[in-house]
Each structure stands twice: as C-alpha cells, then as structure tokens.
Amino acid sequence: MLKLKRERMATTTTNANALLVAIILALLMCSPRCIYSAERRLLVNMTLIRNAPALGAFCLDGSLPAYHLHRGFGAGARNWLLQFEGGGWCNDIESCLERAKSRRGSTRYMTKWEVFSGILSNNASLNPDFYNWNRVKLRYCDGASFAGDAVFKNGTSLLYFRGQKIWEAIILDLLPKGLGQARKALLSGCSAGGLASFLHCNNFTKYLPSNASVKCLSDAGFFLDERDITSNHTMRYFIKDVVSLQGVEKNLDENCTASSLDFPELCFFPQYALKFITTPFFILNSAYDVYQFHHILVPSSADPHGHWNRCKLNPAACNPEQLNTLQEFRRDMIVAMGLFYKYSRRGGLFINSCFAHCQSESQDTWFSADSPRVHDKTIAEAVGDWYFSRRITKEIDCPYPCDTTCHNLIP
Ligand SMILES: *[C@@H]1O[C@H](CO)[C@@H](O)[C@H](O)[C@H]1NC(C)=O
Ligand SMILES: *[C@@H]1O[C@H](CO)[C@@H](O)[C@H](O)[C@H]1NC(C)=O
Ligand SMILES: *[C@@H]1O[C@H](CO)[C@@H](O)[C@H](O)[C@H]1NC(C)=O
Ligand SMILES: *[C@@H]1O[C@H](CO)[C@@H](O)[C@H](O)[C@H]1NC(C)=O
Ligand SMILES: *[C@@H]1O[C@H](CO)[C@@H](O)[C@H](O)[C@H]1NC(C)=O
Ligand SMILES: *[C@@H]1O[C@H](CO)[C@@H](O)[C@H](O)[C@H]1NC(C)=O
Ligand SMILES: *[C@@H]1O[C@H](CO)[C@@H](O)[C@H](O)[C@H]1NC(C)=O
C-alpha cells in the first residue's frame, strides 16, 4: 500500500488536489488493516518459569518453559484468560530433534516479546469482553499439545517430552499470582493449542475455586480423525506416533481411554474426548480449516502429482470434484459435532466456512469492521455472548462459497 501511494504521488507531484485524492484513495483501499497496523501494538514480556526443573518441566531441548502475562485491571482484575500457543506436533526422534533447535521446541529461540492482539488485546474497542482480564499466553515448546510425559536419551541425544509437566508448572506458577482467586476464567488456544484446550479443560477447572465461572474455548483445534483422499488414515497414524513417542496416553481423559480400550490414543482427537468434558466448552473452527485440508484431507503423500496444488492455494481454482470432496469434509466435521450441537446446554459453536486456521488471535478475524460473521455476528461477539450467557450461541455457516465475509488466510 505504501508503495502504491508513492507511485501515485510520483505522477501527481505538480497537482496538489490530485495528490490529496491519491492519499485518500490509498487510505480507503486499505482501510481497517492500515489503521490497525498504524496503532501501537501491545508487546508483552516473557516470564521464564524458574521452578520448572523441580517439577521436571522442560522444553524439548531442556530449556525453561515460559509464558507472557499482561495484568488485568478494573472490573477484570480477578478474571483470567489463558491462551495455549499452537504450532503443530512432532512424531519421531528426527523431527523432534529438529524442533528442539527452533522456536517451536526451545524458549532460547523464541521472541521474548509477544504481540497481544485479538482475544489478547487490552483495548476495549478491539476486544470488548476480555480486554481488562489478566491475559496469559502459554508458550508451546513440547510438540505434543502440552500433554506428553517422557524422555528420550541414547548417549548422544536428549529430548524432553514434558508437555504435561509444563502445563502443571505454568498453572502452579500462576495460582499464587491471582489465578487461584479467580472469579472468572477461560482456557483457550489455537491449533495444537486449541487441541490442548480440549485435553486440559477438566483439569484446569479443578485448580480453580469451586465458585468461579470456568469455561474453555478451542480455536482451530477440532482436528478430525478423517481419512485422506486415498482413504488412508494419515492423521490417525501421525497422532498415534505422537502419543506413543511422547508418553501422552496416561495423560488423556481416563474415562475416554477406558471407553476406547482398543485404541486409547484416539482420545487425543477432540471428537472422542469431547463428551467427557464437563466444563462448558466453545468450539470455534472453520469447516474448511486450511491446516486440516492440507495435512489431513490432502497431505502431499496422498497427492504425489500435485493435482490439488492450485485448489489448495485458492478455493476458486478447485474443480467440481475437489469442491465436492471439501463439502464432504465439512459434513463430516458437522456430524462429529452433532451430539454437542444438539445436546450441550452450556456449550457454544462458531463453525464458519472460510479458508482459514486460527481466527481468535488476529484482530482482523476476531473483531473489526470487516471481520468474518455468521448471522451478522463476529467471532468476538459470539464468544462473548456464550461466555457471559447473554444468549445461546451455536452458529454453523452455510457451505462455501456462500459466505462473503471470509478472510481466506492460506499459508
Ligand atoms: C520482563 O519480565 C521479567 C520477569 O519475568 C522482569 O524481571 C523484567 O523486569 C521485565 N522487563 C521489562 C522491560 O518489563
Ligand atoms: C483502541 O482501538 C481503537 C480502535 O482501533 C483506537 O481508535 C484507539 O486509539 C485504541 N486505543 C488505544 C489506547 O490504543
Ligand atoms: C541417538 O539418536 C540419534 C537420533 O536418532 C542418532 O542420530 C544417534 O546416532 C543415536 N546415538 C546413539 C549412540 O545411538
Ligand atoms: C468465591 O468464594 C470466596 C470465598 O467465600 C469469595 O471470596 C469470592 O468472592 C467468591 N467468588 C465468586 C465469584 O463468587
Ligand atoms: C491435573 O492433572 C495432573 C496430571 O494428570 C495431576 O497430577 C493433577 O493432580 C491434576 N490436577 C488436579 C487439580 O486435579
Ligand atoms: C498411509 O499413510 C502412512 C503414513 O503417512 C504411510 O506410512 C503409508 O504408506 C500410507 N499407505 C498408503 C497405502 O498410502
Ligand atoms: C470419570 O467419570 C467419573 C464418573 O462420572 C467421574 O467421577 C470422574 O471424575 C471421571 N474422571 C475423569 C478423569 O474425568
């Protein structure tokens, strides 16, 4: 946009009126986004958990786990929002060793200051219901949605699979900082962090005062146990590897694993774990979640000739057969949520039809003049209405391409 403005300016230097028109045009063309980016961003400091080693909590590489806390104020001073960071998983020693050398597996390589926007913003006009809460971003450095408990050691290599311990260390660190006296609390997260929100929701509730209002939210964490386009269970095998490599099984919901004894690792999938969650839950997801489209439905192993490459990058380039496959995926997701949709009295849903993955952390999808809507409601409004019991919020969008409010965010 700046470039465009400069080009326009270069051709109109002699005409002040034309120059003014050009500037107004440039501003109009990029309206909400430019205005937001012109604002001062909220950057929040990292806190390393000093007593984590005593609890056996380490990132993959042995570094200290961390979170970023921005204090609440006013009426929100005793309310807490915890947001799990996302970032995929690692399922074998090689990929976990690689990860341990990156920001996904070590606080050594992470940015020490995090941007708090969307649901983490402290500005009432950008985040109307949670802006004055204590807001915490839990950094992800274990590679198994904060749920593993194992160590790999062979003389030359050492890897800590200690996600479950990291979760406990963070909670124990926050309890004396005010979380232990919370009046309201929301456990949230996006992607692998949205999955962590399913896995830890019941446990979170047990740490908080029994008279506190505790709820959980998953953004883009409803990963489906779905076959790929060649009918291979690519995702199921992948998750099975993550669960066994990282010692996750013992940390999954006992009642769920007891009920699926033949395949206890399936309880890592929200569609099986959901009915054992007793805390009120909100599922925010796109029915065409880009990560799931690219890694569960059409992983590159299932499309070696790249027939799907254009469609993956642009839904308008999908042929009718591909669109049909995507519509089936959407239907399967809605079916997997069917009982929750029908019978969960305190649950909420926002399943839109945008090609996106994670919509609560960025301002332009969470709450802005042109952010995605279902039945004219933004995601921030839907989540707030549900959290504060203002009205029942179970929104399922019409199928692609009907929704004109989408921000299709394809990586
Ligand atoms: C960042 O946080 C640490 C505590 O984790 C604190 O000691 C330090 O003073 C903070 N730095 C700034 C600039 O706020
Ligand atoms: C909050 O956001 C609004 C809308 O974008 C903006 O006008 C205002 O300056 C922001 N306030 C602060 C304190 O950043
Ligand atoms: C330990 O495991 C790593 C990764 O698999 C491998 O490269 C290395 O050779 C192993 N070391 C020994 C002593 O087996
Ligand atoms: C919960 O109970 C404690 C102790 O009685 C009280 O201080 C607190 O205000 C109560 N919280 C709520 C949300 O009612
Ligand atoms: C939460 O889960 C951990 C690991 O399973 C367990 O040790 C802990 O006791 C649980 N916390 C509560 C309050 O139940
Ligand atoms: C199915 O997927 C798994 C995991 O990616 C792979 O090992 C296996 O070879 C695949 N099978 C077929 C028939 O493509
Ligand atoms: C399993 O179910 C029983 C009976 O409903 C319940 O008391 C118990 O807390 C559940 N366990 C877990 C880990 O949720």
Q: What is the CATH number of the domain that holds 338?
A: 3.40.50
Interatomic CA distance for residues 388 and 391, integer angstroms: 8
Residue 340 lies in a domain: yes
Is the backbone of residue 87 left (phi > 0), alpha (psi -120 to 50) or beta? left
In a shared domain, residues 15 and 122: no
- 168 backbone φψ class: left, alpha, beta (φ>0; ψ -120 to 50): alpha
Question: Do 113 and 7 lie in a common domain?
Answer: no
Indicate whether 286 and 318 sit together in one domain.
Answer: yes
Residues 171 and 235 both lie in one domain: yes
Residues forming beta bridges with residue 286, ordered by sequence position:
352
The answer as to whether 267 is a domain residue is yes
Instruction: Tell me whether residue 405 is in a domain.
Output: no
**Nearest ligand 4 atom to alpha carbon 210:** 1
For residue 311, how far is the Cα from the chain centroid? 24
Residues 235 and 335 in one domain: yes
Residues 325 and 391 in one domain: yes
Determine the Cα–Cα distance for residues 248 and 266; give it in Å rounded to an integer: 11
Structure tokens at 112: 């020490």
| Residue 289 annotated to the active site | yes
Two tokens, residue 48: 């390393």
Per-residue pLDDT of the chain (411 residues; tens, 9 = 90+): 333 333 333 333 333 343 333 333 344 444 444 444 545 799 999 999 999 999 999 999 999 999 999 999 999 999 999 999 999 999 999 999 999 999 999 999 999 999 999 999 999 999 999 999 999 999 999 999 999 999 999 999 999 999 999 999 999 999 999 999 999 999 999 999 999 999 999 999 999 999 999 999 999 999 999 999 999 999 999 999 999 999 999 999 999 999 987 899 999 999 999 999 999 999 999 999 999 999 999 999 999 999 999 999 999 999 999 999 999 999 999 999 999 999 999 999 999 999 999 999 999 999 999 999 999 999 999 999 999 999 999 999 999 999 999 988 887
Q: Does one domain contain both 7 and 106?
A: no
Amino acid at 301: S
| Residue ranges around ligand 4 (CB below 6 Å) | 183, 209, 211-212
User: Chain-centre distance of CA 205, in angstroms?
Assistant: 20
Q: Which of 25, 36, 19, 3 is nearest to 371 (CA)?
A: 36
pLDDT at position 161 = 98
Is residue 118 in some structural domain? Answer: yes
191 flagged as catalytic: yes
Considering only CA atoms, give the Rg of the chain. 22
Beta-carbon contacts of 235 under 8 Å, excluding residues fewer than 6 positions away, are 223, 224, 225, 226, 228, 295, 296
**pTM higher than 0.85, yes or no?**
yes
**HSE (CB half, 13 Å, CA atoms) of 219?**
26
Give domain status of residue 401, yes or no: no
Pick the atom of ligand 7 nearest to 253's CA: 13
Question: Does 345 share its domain with 288?
Answer: yes
Question: Considering only CA atoms, which residue is closest to atom 14 of ligand 6?
Answer: 232
Total domain count for the chain? 2
Query: Which pLDDT does position 411 carry in this prediction?
Result: 77
Q: What is the pLDDT of residue 39?
A: 58
Query: What's the 68 CA to ligand 1 centre distance in angstroms?
Result: 10
95-99 CB contacts, 8 Å cutoff, 24+ apart: 96/60, 96/143, 96/152, 96/159, 96/161, 96/245, 97/157, 97/159, 99/60, 99/143
Q: Are residues 130 and 155 in the same domain?
A: yes
Residue 303's alpha-carbon distances to 298, 299, 321, in angstroms, are 7, 7, 15
CA of 89 to the centre of ligand 3 (A): 21
Distance CA 287, CA 327 (A): 9
Closest ligand by atom to 152 CA = 3
Query: Which atom of ligand 7 is the closest one to the Cα of 278?
Result: 14
pLDDT at 30: 41
Q: Identify the sign of the CA torsion 54, 57, 63, 68.
A: negative
* Domain carrying residue 18: 1-38
pLDDT on residue 33 = 42
Query: Within this chain, do residues 32 and 66 fall inside the same structural domain, yes or no?
Result: no
Residue 386 lies in a domain: yes
Which of 203, 253, 254 to mutate to test ligand 5, by most ligand atoms within 8 A of the CB atom? 203
Whether residues 103 and 188 fall in one domain = yes
Instruction: Find the 280 Cα to ligand 4 centroid distance in Å.
Output: 20
User: Within this chain, do residues 232 and 201 fall inside the same structural domain, yes or no?
Assistant: yes
Residue 406 in any domain: the answer is: no
Angle at 267 between CA 154 and CA 174, to 5 degrees: 75
Is 94 a member of any domain?
Answer: yes
CA atoms of 44 and 87, how far apart (whole Å): 19
- Omega before 53 cis (within 30°)? no
